[in-house]
Structure 1
Amino acid sequence: DVWGMDVARFGEWASLRYTNAKVRENYSRRFSIRFPNEELPAARPAQTTPLYDTMLANNAVMGDSWGLETPLWFAPKGTEPKDIVSFHRSNDFGPIGEEVRATRERVGVTEIANFAKYEVSGPGSEDFLNRLMTNRMPKIGRIVLTPMLNEFGRLIGDFTIAKAGEERFMIWSSSAAQKYHMRWFEKHLPRDGSVRIHRFDQTLVGLSIAGPRSRDLLQKLVDVDVSTKAFRFMDFREMAVGGAPCMVNRITYTGDLGYEIWMAPAYQRLVYKAIKDAGEEFGLVDFGMRALLSMRLEKNFPTWFRELRPIYGPFEGAMDRFIKLEKNDFIGREAAAKEQTEGPKRRRVSFIVDAADA
């Protein structure tokens, strides 16, 4: 795993000016203690979404996610939106707990622009994706979750894929790996031009609503039926949300009932305002990336570069149900089959830490 030395860790935002600022910052801190979750300020903000100023006005503490300013948590009104770093519970613990509790009990909204977004299209797109991914591609209007392996059967990606049309797929994954993944995609593109790949970066942004009242909230924003039967778990639809053209996934990273809503940047503020206005009666709250990561841990959802890395195989990563060894050949299949037969040498599991200060 040589990720720490791979230039694909950086995007176009890592300019000479950015690099100079970060080098100076890192060198000046060479004898300083680095605390958990510490965010460093040099060369920021590099990239922002249309909601950046709105998030600041909402008392958000912002963090850097592959060069993009992302809400981490929301400080209570009347307090300074600032991390006080510590090896113990920091000042974000209480507010994040409230964000999680409100989302689990009512409904929450968070910005998800920091995901990687791709479109794969063309007559060869389905065969191409079936060759790269371990899971079968979905039918039109449906979503699958799938790992991607290298030729040694090691995990090099974890994707959400929706079939948006006969020859069109929408793909979401970790933002930090998008250059890394694009390099792999382009390496395996067929030379006959039958497959096209577009990386959206920040030309497509998103919001996620999650919690038991999220369906009621979404229904107020759309003119189509989003009941359980009409809009099932793992469905994909294109619809107007709050008057804006959007793509909507019936899926969330929190593990709750919820939706991912994707739109062009020009519509993000419109959709966010519509969600906030309609959500008042349901007790809607804003929640940040740290609450999202807390909730996905409670559901045992892995995330890229934390639990899933190229040093692990798919069965070590507990991704068994997404590995379709019976389908036509995919990259890494032989190694994955061997791992299944011999059994993984280690296994990803979740622990409950029963302590007052963990």
Structure 2
Amino acid sequence: LKAEATVANLPASDRGPDRVWYGSAAASEFHDMDWLSSHLDPGEDVTIRSLTNDQTILVLAGPKSREVLSEVARGDWSRDAFPWLSLRETHIGIAPATVLGVSFSGELAYEIHVPNHSLHAAWLALRRAGETHGLKLFGSRAVDSMRLEKGFLHWKSDILTEFDPYETGLDRFVSPDKGDFVGRDALIKRHETGPRRRLVTLSVETKDAPAHPGASVRADGRIVGTVTSGDWGHRTGLNLAYAFVLPELSSAENAVTVDSLGEPVPATVIPPGPYDPGFERIRS
């Protein structure tokens, strides 16, 4: 796995021609730019431009986020007019913005990309609109907890260059039959040899502390895997962790232990994304 990104087609408008909107993970901007640039075909009419220093992303999330957005943004934001995974150019108050219907929290949510020179105007408009809806601020630690409950993965925590899409549970995004792509032959060959590890979700049976990335996972007195992420799920009431483990232990209900505060703590493999497994809230 080489990257984690949000990719969307942005139709031509008064802001520019047809474009591909590529949202890189924050920590991998230069990595992704190098990778994309090095794989441009000399015959392709493609220009890659970084907007990192030009734009800022505001995230509006929660069951009332559509109501807040509708009060400040032009256009129809109903579920039918702007469903999950949609993209639209609009204005937030007087600020031009590009809105993506994506969520890392597991709730109905919007990523609002705003030019830096208009950021304060967009911020004020959203805050004022949110006053009657109980809008509050939330931070990265809250998002990290929520994405674990939803089964979403984090670049360089759970999405790693050491493991392929099949081992990481991302095989639904792989289509070897669609034609040639970078790494296709190597991926097919690797898949034929079978997985060395599989990423699983663990329910850790303690309220003392979350599992720490890098902690060992054990079974029958031997190390069988490594934790990649861990946090308390406040909506599910579960102490959750991701870990790469031996394939034979990756099925739900397998029992293991996780090293926590110097002690082995019982844990059980559970299906990923225990919060809203049917994605009803994101699609609401």
TM-score with structure 2 length normalisation? 0.69
Secondary structure of the corresponding residue to residue 302 of structure 1? coil
Tell me the number of residue pairs that the alignment of Structure 1 and Structure 2 aligns.
204
Whose strand fraction is larger, Structure 1's or Structure 2's?
Answer: 2
Give, in whole Å, the separation in 2 of the partners of 1:354 and 1:267.
Answer: 47
Q: Is the 8 A contact 1:251 1:260 kept in 2?
A: yes
Q: List per-residue Cα deviations over 1:156-200 (Å, max 9, x = no partner).
A: 101111100264101002122111111111211122361100011
Q: Which residue of 1 aligns with 2:11?
A: 165
Give, in whole Å, the separation in 1 of the partners of 2:136 and 2:22.
Answer: 28
Give, in whole Å, the separation in 1 of the partners of 2:192 and 2:89.
Answer: 42
Q: Is the 8 A contact 1:159 1:173 kept in 2?
A: yes
CA 1:193 to 1:337, structure 2 compared with 1: closer, same or farther past 3 Å? closer
Q: Which residue of 1 aligns with 2:64?
A: 213
Give, in whole Å, the separation in 2 of the partners of 1:354 and 1:274.
Answer: 44
Q: CA deviation at 1:312?
A: 0.7
Query: Does 2:173 correspond to 1:327?
Result: no
Give, in whole Å, the separation in 2 of the partners of 1:309 and 1:186.
Answer: 21
Q: Is the 8 A contact 1:206 1:268 kept in 2?
A: no
Q: Which residue of 1 aligns with 2:208?
A: 357
Query: For structure 1, which runs of at least 5 residues remain unmatched after alignment?
Result: 1-154
Query: Does 2:96 correspond to 1:245?
Result: yes
Within 5 Å, give how 1:179-258 maps onto structure 2: 179-192=30-43, 194-258=45-109
Q: Which residue of 2 aligns with 1:302?
A: 153
Give, in whole Å, the separation in 1 of the partners of 2:102 and 2:145.
Answer: 17
Query: For structure 2, which runs of at least 5 residues remain unmatched after alignment?
Result: 13-17, 210-284
Q: CA deviation at 1:344?
A: 1.8
The letter of the residue matching 2:71 is K
Q: CA deviation at 1:342?
A: 4.0
Secondary structure of the corresponding residue to residue 156 of structure 1? coil
Query: Does 2:132 correspond to 1:281?
Result: yes
Give, in whole Å, the separation in 1 of the partners of 2:198 and 2:24.
Answer: 22
Moved more, 343-352 or 249-258: 343-352
Give, in whole Å, the separation in 2 of the partners of 1:354 and 1:284.
Answer: 33
The letter of the residue matching 2:26 is S
Q: CA deviation at 1:336?
A: 2.3
Q: CA deviation at 1:283?
A: 1.1
Moved more, 320-329 or 159-168: 159-168
Q: List per-residue Cα deviations over 1:94-143 (Å, max 9, x = no partner).
A: xxxxxxxxxxxxxxxxxxxxxxxxxxxxxxxxxxxxxxxxxxxxxxxxxx
Give, in whole Å, the separation in 2 of the partners of 1:338 and 1:283.
Answer: 53
Give, in whole Å, the separation in 2 of the partners of 1:199 and 1:308.
Answer: 23
Give, in whole Å, the separation in 2 of the partners of 1:240 and 1:173.
Answer: 23
The letter of the residue matching 1:160 is T
> 1:314 pairs with 165, 168, 177, which one?
165
Within 5 Å, give how 1:36-47 maps onto structure 2: none
Whose helix fraction is larger, Structure 1's or Structure 2's?
Answer: 1
Q: Is the 8 A contact 1:220 1:278 kept in 2?
A: yes
Q: Is the 8 A contact 1:236 1:248 kept in 2?
A: yes
Q: Is the 8 A contact 1:251 1:259 kept in 2?
A: yes
Give, in whole Å, the separation in 2 of the partners of 1:177 and 1:323.
Answer: 21
Higher relative contact order (CA 8 A, sep 6+): 1
